[in-house]
Amino acid sequence: MKYISTRGQTAHKPFSEVLLMGLAPDGGLMLPESYPQISPETLQQWRGLSYPELAFEIMSLFVTDIPSEDLRDILNRTYTEAAFGTAEITPVRTLSDGIKIQALSNGPTLAFKDMAMQFLGNAFEYVLAKEGKQLNILGATSGDTGSAAEYALRGKKGVHVFMLSPEGKMSAFQRAQMYSLQDENIHNIAVHGMFDDCQDIVKAVQNDAAFKEKYHIGTVNSINWGRIVAQVVYYFAGYFNTTQSNEQKVSFCVPSGNFGNVCAGHIARQMGLPIHRLIVATNENDVLDEFFKTGEYRPRTAEHTHVTSSPSMDISKASNFERFIFDLTDRDASQIQALWAEVGTGKGFDLNWLLSKVRNQYGFVSGKSLHQDRLRVIAEVYQTDGQLVDPHTADGIKVAREVREAGELIVCLETALAAKFEDTVYEAVGKVDIPRPAGLEGLESLPQRVQVVPNNAEVVKEIIRETLEK
Ligand SMILES: *Cc1c(COP(=O)(O)O)cnc(C)c1O
């Protein structure tokens, strides 16, 4: 299996190389040359496999340049009961209205990004050791991505993580989660400024080609193909968990921001998994809902992005969206170049004549959920089912209820635990006890390790230099 770029100007590459890449050199995103097709017989054989076994069967179709036994070992070490709380890894439960909830949020940082990032940590370590390489991750986070990356890469050989966060802007829980890590290869840097300032520093360092090369600077952002492929697995797991036979179809409802999660669902569907519809749920930042309703894609600037109570979806330029549009245009790289040239000038594009294909051939629908909607859903689910769901999952449930057809089996992906977003949960249901996974009880009182710096890329470069030259 080789990988190609959505912009068509990059040589075909094997998985191990794509794993360590961010954007392709031509500015595009990497995708497999074609999607492996799963026959009904194979699907039947996969029913009943354990999560790591299923992950091996699916991922070995995409990862053909790592020996099978090594890939199996990486996956067995990744998807463990110790890391994800249950041997099932992504257990499914049913609400009293029949909607299913698939828990993707039982990993170390209580958000679905662990599902892929834990794999990425082990895969990076394996590939770097094999090739005798080093990688220094420089990232910016407003919460979930940074902590998921740090917990995935802590203590890994050949890797350092330099993670920028806006000083004082994350929740106490999120700060404690990241800053309490004492591993020597994890470096928390709090910047006097906003998340966008952190991101600008990352860009400034990336743009210094000499520095980037000398210090082997890389990223783990959500366009990384290794993350998408790991996410394909739980769509299969969720399907097997909620059906008895392959005659049945399931729809997935996905709280979305960068389109990474639902992009994996799209790929599972293209492989032949019997998915009826892919339901994209957004919050107040509704660029994706607008596209799936009208065919117009109009990314907003940072000033026009709302700060909401489901903050991990506060995204107005969905970085993985290009992967879907590539498939939608029958993989026409020159059309992608033209469309993203429009995005680059801030205009966006209109594909309204393809809307029926988006719905009928690709199964996409969408909806959006606002602050009052998510508060109401959190309160309703608490009353009817005695469970607390987090604000992002609540957005998904709201939209699933709204678009559900008679008899449709909908699995809502649970993308975080309520414990991570206490303030909004309290606002919805009052000051109740929010369950926390074992081991996280006294998190906020642990000693923290973080350097506070001015909003200045040179200062960050100096920290990287000093650390790596020690
Ligand atoms: C990242 C994240 C999302 C959005 O996922 P995308 O892959 O960016 O669409 C939704 N919910 C939570 C809790 C997240 O951390």
- What Å distances lie between residue 128 and 17, 123, 162, CA to CA? 10, 8, 18
Note the pLDDT tens digit of each residue in 255-307: 999 999 999 999 999 999 999 999 999 999 999 999 999 999 999 887 888 88
| Residue 256 alpha carbon to ligand 1 centre in Å | 6
What integer pLDDT is reported at residue 84 of this predicted model?
Answer: 96
Q: Is the pLDDT of residue 218 over 90?
A: no
Quote the percentage of the chain above a pLDDT of 90.
84
> Which residue puts its alpha carbon closest to atom 14 of ligand 1?
312
363, two tokens? 């199964």
- 87-108+225-429 and 134-215+438-469 have identical folds: yes
Q: Which residues contact 463 (CB under 8 A, 6 or more apart)?
A: 162, 187, 189, 451, 453
Tell me, in angstroms, the distance from the centre of ligand 1 to residue 464's CA.
29
Quick one: which of 11, 231, 33, 224 has its CA closest to 124? 224
* Domain range annotation of the chain: 87-108+225-429, 134-215+438-469
414-246-39 Cα angle (round to 5): 105
Q: Tokens in use for 329?
A: 């245009």
Tens of pLDDT, residues 145-167: 899 999 999 999 999 999 999 89
pLDDT band at 439 (very low <50, low <70, confident <90, very high): confident
In DSSP notation, 30-71 reads EEESSPPPPPHHHHHHHTT--HHHHHHHHHTTT--SS-HHHH
Q: Does domain 134-215+438-469 have CATH number 3.40.50.1100?
A: yes
Q: How far is the CA of 458 from the centre of ligand 1 (A)?
A: 31
Q: What is the pLDDT of residue 239?
A: 98
The C-alpha angle with vertex 7 and arms to 6 and 11, in degrees rounded to 5, equals 90
Per-residue model confidence (pLDDT) at position 245: 95
- Round to whole Å and give the CA distance between 381 and 428: 11
Ligand 1 atom with least separation from CA of 392: 11
Task: Taking residues 44-67, report their average pLDDT.
Answer: 97
Atom 11, ligand 1: residue with shortest CA distance: 415
Supply the pLDDT for residue 302.
Answer: 76
Q: Which of 14-18, 59-63, 167-171 has the lowest mean pLDDT?
A: 167-171
Q: What is the pLDDT of residues 183-194, one digit of tens each?
A: 999 999 999 988
Q: Which of 80, 66, 76, 3 is nearest to 35 (CA)?
A: 3
Residues acting as catalytic residues: 113
Residue 420 CA, ligand 1 centroid: distance in Å: 13
Distance CA 132, CA 153 (A): 17
- What average pLDDT does this structure show over 385-396? 97
Tell me the pLDDT of the chain averaged across its residues: 94
CATH architecture of the region 87-108+225-429: 3-Layer(aba) Sandwich (3.40)
Model pLDDT for residues 114-133, shown as the tens digit of each residue: 999 999 999 999 999 999 99
CA 115 to ligand 1 centroid distance, Å = 12
SS3 83: helix
- CA dist 331 and 4 (Å) reads 10
Each residue's pLDDT tens digit, 341-389 = 999 898 999 999 999 999 999 999 999 999 999 999 999 999 999 999 9
What atom in ligand 1 is closest to the CA of residue 113? 15
Q: Which atom of ligand 1 is nearest to the CA of 256?
A: 9
Which residue puts its alpha carbon closest to atom 7 of ligand 1?
Answer: 260
| Portion of the chain with pLDDT greater than 70, in percent | 100
pLDDT of residue 286: 95
What pLDDT is stored for residue 56 in this prediction? 98
Counting from 1 in the atom list of ligand 1, the atom nearest the Cα of 258 is 8
HSE, side-chain direction, 13 A CA sphere, residue 83: 24
Question: Ligand 1 pocket: which residues have CB below 6 Å?
Answer: 111-113, 144, 222, 255-261, 312-313, 392, 415-416
CB hemisphere CA count around 392 (13 angstroms): 27
